[in-house]
């Protein structure tokens, strides 16, 4: 019946808590009775250690009490409720409709919160996202005292950013950290690790919406990995190509992190984990927006491909083992249900919110950027609905928002590192505003392409040399001589094939070689016989 509907049961529980006598009130239950106008007046223009939010509502509304109970697990904020009886007082505060929320800041300033929809979920989400508001810890937070080391004295300048935008500096910094730091924990890549890395590079080369030099680096790395017929590749060889030791023209990846939307209030907070989420969100959205981008890669026709690569990457390379375990559990639970590219976008969004909910109040949470359900109502009000007093997601609107937010048109290039001068940062806010030289696609100059191929060939040769020198046989101790011989033969084959000859070209070369040899032999015997006849004829005439 109606008395057993969820909304009715919740309101009955709120009434039960509110009607408790003072002696029997549960210790953790905040006061749910409305405050008077005089009590609110005494709080105005006074400094405090916390925020105070006052929800003004009608007598039969439960929004204020629901928001109070939503926020009882959070610190640095107190929520109260007031009724709309005192009309002159409401006019003084600028409140024209209820429910409304009036916020008193710790510094004494105060004002009305601008909310698009006067719903419980909108009020609660806004208050939870305030700076310094975070879930209460079960144990007091004890951070280790940092020693004053010389390298830690660098002052990090805070970068202002727009949270509704995606910053290329975050994506490029994530790639830099992935390729130069996280991958460096593996001396060599082989087996499943090598396969995962190859697939990640292949997908990134096709889908990453980055600057042309960065995309060219990924494409060069992909071609290089495909051209090496090896089961094991040393990390140092990968790093040499990422750092462009071969001096290939037109490729570049920043060599330091430059967090913008992923910057934390302390150096150890947010950063790489934030950028890795953004990177894979971007790849899932780009795969949905450009479904034909992966054609001829061997990875097409699989709507789960980006999610599967993310799953394997986290399993093999991500440094946080607890995070790896949790992600694997989520993947086992429901990843197989993803049947379309759009569903892949929504699956990753949903699981990211699951992680945010689990980590809210954790030691790893940044107090300045609390873990909340995303997108928040202020950047996507259409994504949020309320059904019978309960928050609900409009997944169609969420998908539309994700495709807009992680589209290349929503990327800002402010703070990206310039290729010409790494010490400077670009100040342009849009693609048109950044360094024009980085946007130019490589020309069709045959000399440049030929030089690049030779450089990549040198890299392949160095990899094979290193494997022969450092690693010996690939597998098994009894095959050392055979393994070395095979690697030497492979090196010769790669050196020959690397300059651009196909199998047909080689066959033609062999045929030409054999034909030339036969022709030379025939000419040799022809002139040899002719010489003998000339000698005999000359000798007889002399006699």
User: What are the structural domains, with CATH classification, of the chain?
Assistant: 2-135 (3.40.30.10), 166-409 (1.20.120.310)
Q: Give the containing element (helix H, strand E) for 7.
A: helix 6-18
Tell me how crowded residue 32 is: count the other CB atoms within 10 A of its CB.
20
Strand partners, 237: none
Decide: 457 and 499 in contact? Cβ < 8 Å. Answer: yes
Give me the pLDDT at residue 445, please: 47
The pLDDT tens digits of the residues spanning 482-535 come to: 444 444 444 444 444 444 455 666 777 888 888 899 999 898 888 888 777 766
pLDDT band at 45; cut points 50, 70, 90:
confident
Give me the pLDDT at residue 301, please: 86
Decide: 274 and 282 in contact? Cβ < 8 Å. Answer: no
pLDDT at 11 over 70: yes
Decide: 424 and 256 in contact? Cβ < 8 Å. Answer: no
Give me the pLDDT at residue 441, please: 43
251-269 average pLDDT score: 91
3-class state of residue 118 by DSSP: coil
pLDDT at 12 over 50: yes
Decide: 388 and 5 in contact? Cβ < 8 Å. Answer: yes
Render 261-282 in DSSP notation, one character per residue.
TT--SSTTSSTHHHHHHHHHHH
Tell me how crowded residue 139 is: count the other CB atoms within 10 A of its CB.
6
129-149 average pLDDT score: 62
Burial of 479 (0-12, 13-18, 19+ CB in 10 A): middle
pLDDT > 70 fraction of the chain, expressed in percent and rounded: 77
> Which residues fall within 8 angstroms of residue 375, CB to CB, at 6 or more apart?
383, 398, 401, 405
pLDDT > 90 fraction of the chain, expressed in percent and rounded: 42
Higher pLDDT, 387 or 236: 236
Give me the pLDDT at residue 236, please: 92
The pLDDT tens digits of the residues spanning 349-387 come to: 999 999 999 988 788 888 888 888 999 988 998 999 888
The pLDDT tens digits of the residues spanning 56-111 come to: 999 999 999 999 999 998 889 999 999 998 888 988 899 999 899 999 999 888 99
Nearest CA among 160, 189, 195 for reference residue 308: 195
The residue behind tokens 């010769």 is 492
DSSP E strands: which ranges in 335-435?
384-387, 390-393, 411-412
> Which residues fall within 8 angstroms of residue 18, CB to CB, at 6 or more apart?
32, 33, 65
C-beta contacts of 394-403 below 8 A and 24+ residues apart: 395/346, 398/346, 398/349, 399/342, 399/345, 399/346, 401/375, 402/281, 402/285, 402/345, 402/346, 402/349, 403/285, 403/288, 403/289, 403/345
Radius of gyration of the chain (CA): 34
DSSP letter, residue 390: E
pLDDT band at 137; cut points 50, 70, 90:
low
Largest Cα–Cα separation, the chain: 148
Per the prediction, the chain carries an average pLDDT of 81
d(CA 376, CA 369): 12
The pLDDT tens digits of the residues spanning 408-434 come to: 999 999 998 886 544 333 444 444 444
Decide: 235 and 189 in contact? Cβ < 8 Å. Answer: yes
pLDDT at 234 over 80: yes
Outline where 290-335 has alpha helix (H). 305-316, 321-334
Pick from 136-140, 264-268, 372-376, 521-525: least confident: 136-140
Outline where 147-211 has alpha helix (H). 168-177, 191-207
Decide: 101 and 78 in contact? Cβ < 8 Å. Answer: no
């Amino acid at each position: 019946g109606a008395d057993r509907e969820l909304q009715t049961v919740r309101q009955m529980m709120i009434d039960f808590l509110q009607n408790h006598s003072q002696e029997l009130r549960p210790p953790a239950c905040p006061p749910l009775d409305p405050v008077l106008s005089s009590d609110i007046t005494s709080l105005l223009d006074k400094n405090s250690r916390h925020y105070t939010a006052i929800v003004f509502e009608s007598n039969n509304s439960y929004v204020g009490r629901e928001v109070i109970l939503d926020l009882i697990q959070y610190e640095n904020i107190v929520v109260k409720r007031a009724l709309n009886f005192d009309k002159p007082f409401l006019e003084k505060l600028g409140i024209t409709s209820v429910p409304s929320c009036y916020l008193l800041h710790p510094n004494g300033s105060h004002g009305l919160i601008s909310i698009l929809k006067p719903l419980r979920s909108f009020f609660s989400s806004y208050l939870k996202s305030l700076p310094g508001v975070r879930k209460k810890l079960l144990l007091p937070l004890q951070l280790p005292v940092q020693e004053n080391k010389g390298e830690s004295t660098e002052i990090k300048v805070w970068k202002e950013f727009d949270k509704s935008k995606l910053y290329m500096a975050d994506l490029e910094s994530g790639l830099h950290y992935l390729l130069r730091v996280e991958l460096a924990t593996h001396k060599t890549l082989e087996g499943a690790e090598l396969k995962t890395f190859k697939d990640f590079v292949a997908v990134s080369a096709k889908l990453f919406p980055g600057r042309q030099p960065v995309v060219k680096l990924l494409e060069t790395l992909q071609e290089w990995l495909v051209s090496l017929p090896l089961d094991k590749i040393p990390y140092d060889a990968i790093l040499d190509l990422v750092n462009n030791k071969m001096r290939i023209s037109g490729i570049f990846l920043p060599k330091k992190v430059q967090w913008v939307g992923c910057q934390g209030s302390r150096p150890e907070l947010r950063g790489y984990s934030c950028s890795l989420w953004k990177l894979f969100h971007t790849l899932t959205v780009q795969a949905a927006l450009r479904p034909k981008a992966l054609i001829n890669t061997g990875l097409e026709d699989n709507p789960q491909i980006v999610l599967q690569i993310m799953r394997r990457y986290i399993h093999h390379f991500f440094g946080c083992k607890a995070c790896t375990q949790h992600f694997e559990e989520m993947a086992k639970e429901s990843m197989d249900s993803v049947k379309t590219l759009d569903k892949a976008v929504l699956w990753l969004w949903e699981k990211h919110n699951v992680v945010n909910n689990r980590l809210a109040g954790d030691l790893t949470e940044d107090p300045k950027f609390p873990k909340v359900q995303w997108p928040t109502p202020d950047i996507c009000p259409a994504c949020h609905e309320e059904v019978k007093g309960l928050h609900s997601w409009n997944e169609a609107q969420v998908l539309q928002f994700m495709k807009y937010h992680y589209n290349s048109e929503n990327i800002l290039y402010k703070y990206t590192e310039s290729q010409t001068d790494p010490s400077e940062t670009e100040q342009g806010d849009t693609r048109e505003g950044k360094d024009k030289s980085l946007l130019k696609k490589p020309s069709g100059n045959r000399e440049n392409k030929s030089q690049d191929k030779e450089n990549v060939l040198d890299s392949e040769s160095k990899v094979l040399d290193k494997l022969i020198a450092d690693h010996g046989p690939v597998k098994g101790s009894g095959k050392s001589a055979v393994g070395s011989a095979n690697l030497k033969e492979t090196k010769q084959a790669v050196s020959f094939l690397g300059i651009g000859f196909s199998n047909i070209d080689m066959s033609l070369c062999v045929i030409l070689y054999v034909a030339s040899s036969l022709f030379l032999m025939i000419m040799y015997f022809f002139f040899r016989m002719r010489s003998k006849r000339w000698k005999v004829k000359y000798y007889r005439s002399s006699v």
